[in-house]
Structure 1
Amino acid sequence: MPIPATYDDRPDIGQPSDPTYTPVPWPRTFLSWTGSNGDSIALTGDISGRNSPAGIAITKGPAGLGMPTFDLKVDQLPNMAGGLFRSTRATTRDITIPLIIRGVDRTSLLKMHNRLLRALNPDAGPGWITATEGDGVARHLECYYVSGAEGSETEENASFTWIKMALVLRAMDPYWYSAAERQYDWHLDTGTALPFLSNTTYPGFFPLRISNASFSPGGLVKAANDSSVEAWPTWTVYGPLTSLVLENITTGQAFRLRDNVAVPAGQTLVIDTRPGVKTVQLNDANAWPQMTTDSTLWPLRPGANNLRVTASGVGPTTLIRLHHVPRYLSYAGG
């Protein structure tokens, strides 16, 4: 039955309750799809025909852009009410995006329609949804096309110059990724830092250097993870050095190479801690046996992380670089 309630005050919808607050102008969110063929298509585009012969726009009802679904592991308690919580994990994410494709004529409509189908083809690999909020911050999600573009010629779904469809896309990794890598360097001389090239696996990345550090024994560097989701770094180590230790003082975890293991000058050690990757390679050769048994490929926890890097036998060309891409619960952050 409905719960009766009364209100003494009915605020004007859309007006802040604090009279000192000034509403912030906010442009609309821009959404695009980049296929594995490299074609980037605006999904919140112009369908008026004034600027291009055909365009795509999102209609009402997109779903799945916020929090992922979580799977809770629970042990049922015998002879008692309820259960005992064990763990949780984010599952794969399905996103539904209702679209309308409109052209000024049949030719322009079919051209845009076929362009979208080619970019969606999952046989060619995954694509990326990129959401850019009104503040200009962009985040992306790797997805595979599942369904929705089969076509329906009913009166409400198609006409001579427009087509409606509801795309269903599936993300194996349910977290949204920032469009910028965070980077921290440890070296002896800031003038000898090697150039950094951003990862081109995802479109739109650009490097963002945040901090430089030295190999001072007691020095700590505070690395920020501005998300509520763990971030998994990749370390690139340029020799010479020995006795390498990478510590996250905040979590009490550390990665260590055996004391007799050296990274000579001109050689590179890459430690990739990302889930599904988890590799340690010295000049492209497997270096897992060179880790100590108590080593951990640790993540950056949400918030501030105090990091310490120590090594022996370092020289002017020695450089240790950490870079990571923050992950988020939603296209808008979190």
Structure 2
Amino acid sequence: MPIPAKPVHVPDSGIPPGGDYVPIRWPRTFMTWTGANLDIIPLTGDLSCTAGSAGIGIPSGPAGLGMPTFDLKADQLPNMDGGLFKSVRATTRDITIPVVIRGVDRISAIKLHNRLLGALNPNIGPGWITVSEGDGIARHIECYYLSGGEGSETRDNAGFTWIKYALVFRAMDPYWYSNAERQYDWTLTQESSTPFLSSSAYPSFFPMRISAASFQPDGTVEVVNDSSVESWPVWSCVGPATGLILENRTTGKSFKMRDAFTVPSEDTMTVDTNPGVKTVTLKSSGTNLWPEMKADSALWSLHPGKNVLKVTAVDVSINTLIRLHFVPRYLSYIGG
């Protein structure tokens, strides 16, 4: 039954009282699908076909772009009400995107239709949904096409020059990732690094990297993970460096190599902390360096917010470089 109530308390919206707030003009959201064949197809394109012979558009709101679904584990309590919380994890995510393909003629519509189906094919691997908000910030999520492209030739779903689908995608990793990689460098001179352009080793959706701020007096660096979800860094350690220690003083965890182990000169040790990867290798030979780690080491993550990090090593030179790079991940396509 309805609950009679009146609004006696309004949550703070951040808008100044008195009606003086001027709404911000905000460009429309732009969405693309990048197939495993690297074909980038705009999903919020031009349905009027004024800029080309065919276009794809989203006629109504997609679903599944916000928070992921969580699985809560609990033990039932004997002879008591309720349960005892044990753990929580985010499950896989399904995303539904309704699209309309329209062409100026039948041939144009068929060509764009076939191009989209080729980019959706999950047999060749996953693709990426990328969403750019009006502020220019873009985030992407890796997923597989699941269903919806079977098609229906009913009057409401298809015509001579158009066809409508409700495409369903499944993301094994339910989090959205930033399109900008963060980067921090430690060198012998403790100078701030300069931004680097993405190399061929990184996907094309990383347009830039963000370099480190200046060092604190004790040699620590404050790394900000601007998300409410933990992020997993990748470390590149260019030798020489002996007894390397990577500390996260905010969480109290550290990664330690044996005191006698030295990263060779002009070689690189890569430490990948990402779940499902967790590797420590030497670049030149691919040698597994797990035996060279101390037993109390942890491949730690960056917690949400500020993380105070410190790198320690001996027998270093001006060629020594310790590089941290990570990609923030988010609960939703607009952040969180």
Normalised by the length of structure 2, the TM-score is: 0.92
Q: Partners in 2 of 1:49 and 1:215 — Cα distance?
A: 55
The residue number in structure 1 matching 2:277 is 277
Counterpart for residue 296 of structure 1: 298
Give the secondary structure class of the aligned counterpart of 1:206.
coil
Distance 1:24 1:107, change over 3 A: same
- Separation in 2, partners of 1:118, 1:148: 14
CA distance in structure 2 between the aligned counterparts of 1:75 and 1:65, rounded to whole angstroms: 31
> CA, structure 1 residues 201+145, in 2 after alignment: closer, same or farther (shift >3 Å)?
farther
Task: Report matched runs for 1:1-334 at 5 Å.
Answer: 1-5=1-5, 18-189=18-189, 190=191, 197-198=198-199, 201-211=202-212, 218-283=218-283, 284-334=286-336
| 1:180–1:6 Cα change, 3 Å | closer
Letter matched to residue 324 of structure 1: F
How many percent of aligned residue pairs carry the same amino acid?
61
2 CA distance for matches of 1:47 and 1:242?
A: 60
Aligned to 1:11: none
Render the CA deviation track for 1:28-47: whole Å, top value 9, x for unaligned: 11000001111100000001
Name structure 2 gaps, 5 residues minimum: 9-14
- Check whether the contact 2:185–2:192 (CA below 8 A) recurs between aligned residues: no
Contact 1:188-1:215 at 8 Å conserved across structures: no
Change beyond 3 A, Cα 1:24–1:193:
closer
Question: SS state of the match for residue 298, structure 1?
Answer: coil
- How far 1:200 sits from its partner (Å)? 5.2
Q: CA deviation at 1:50?
A: 1.1
AA of the residue aligned to 1:107: I
Q: CA deviation at 1:17?
A: 5.7
Shift in alpha-carbon separation, 1:194–1:224, aligned structure 2, 3 A:
closer
1:72-109 superposed Cα distances (whole Å, 9 cap, x missing partner) = 01111111110111111101000000111111110000
Cα distance in 1 for residues equivalent to 2:193 and 2:106: 59
The change in CA–CA distance for 1:116 and 1:17 in structure 2 (over 3 A counts) is farther
Give the superposition deviation at 1:171. Answer: 0.5
Gapped regions of structure 1 (runs ≥ 5): 9-14
Q: Do the aligned partners of residues 196 and 291 (structure 1) sit closer, same or farther apart at CA in structure 2, a change above 3 Å counting? A: farther
Q: Give the C-alpha shift of residue 61 in structure 1.
A: 3.4
